[in-house]
Amino acid sequence: MAIKLGLQSYSLRKMPYEKAVEVIAALGLGYVEAFPGHLPPEQASVPRSKALSEKHKVKLLSHGVNAMHDNEAELTGLFDFAKATGVQVLTADPDPGSFDLLDRLVDDYGIAVAIHNHGPTHRYGAVDTIVEAIEGHNELIGMCLDTGHLARSREDITEATRKLGSRMYGLHLKDVDRDNKEVPFGTGRLDFRKMLLQLRQAGVLERIPVILEVELNPDSPILGIQESLGNVRALLGGLPK
């Protein structure tokens, strides 16, 4: 099974979504995680998403980060959108009161919810807060681990993947320097090889969306994305099978 390597469209946030998908295809990637500002999660977005995926051969694999409230109509609409577009993982920031409803929806739709850690001050900024939140809930509710944000929380990215185990449903690849400022992937302080090996040994790496996210230089992002992507590909290609 091949690794599902893609780009978070937020990396190209100054472009229209149509242009972003074109660029992603030109980078040789077959997957995208769309952020809601590019592709609103509503039925009106479905025809456009399908047409762009078909034209550029870029599959919409995941979508987010989506707020999730304890509102059945709102969440059912979100899951209907995901099903219609072929999304396998909804990257999310769910309210604590929404989990019982999410238990039923992930089961009904077969679509995973991956809680995104968004920095040290966020309610899910620490891995343990996510582990506690998902305990006792449907196995399709887990985590999308953002390596850059987790590093800023002073946590170890490999240990985090061990704690989550099979409840890992997404990965946002970002690198940071010793001052926790974002740098191109592979040029910072994080030990990605160790983390990726652990994910492969656990049978997770080829199952989940592996999404590069580059927030540097949004007005002229291509060179930074190319550098980061080259380093990601070299690292993944050098991992033992």
Residues 184-210: tens digit of each pLDDT: 999 999 999 999 999 999 999 999 999
pLDDT in tens, 37-49: 999 999 999 999 9
CA distance 48 to 12: 18
Give the per-residue pLDDT at 241. Answer: 84
Q: Phi, psi (5° rounding) for residue 63?
A: -150, 135
Q: What does each C-alpha distance from 62 to 5, 182, 219, 221 come to in angstroms? A: 11, 23, 24, 21
Determine contact, residues 189/181, Cβ cutoff 8 Å: no
Q: What is the DSSP string of 177-222?
A: -TTS-EE-TTSSS--HHHHHHHHHHTT-TTTSEEEE---S-TTS-H
pLDDT tens per residue across span 36-86: 999 999 999 999 999 999 999 999 999 999 999 999 999 999 999 999 999
The structure's pTM equals: 0.97
Q: Are 167 and 139 in contact (CB under 8 A)?
A: yes
Q: Which domains does the chain have, with CATH numbers?
A: 4-236 (3.20.20.150)
Query: Which pLDDT tens digit goes with each residue over 216-226?
Result: 999 999 999 99
Q: Percentage of residues in the chain with pLDDT exceeding 90?
A: 99
Count other Cβ atoms within 10 Å, centred on residue 155: 20
Rounded Cα distance between 232 and 56, Å, is: 22
Q: Give residue 1's pLDDT band: very low, low, confident or very high (50, 70, 90).
A: confident
The residue type found at 16 is P
Q: How far is CA 69 from CA 79, 114, 219, in A?
A: 13, 15, 33
Find the mean pLDDT for residues 105-123.
Answer: 97
Residue 103 pLDDT: 98
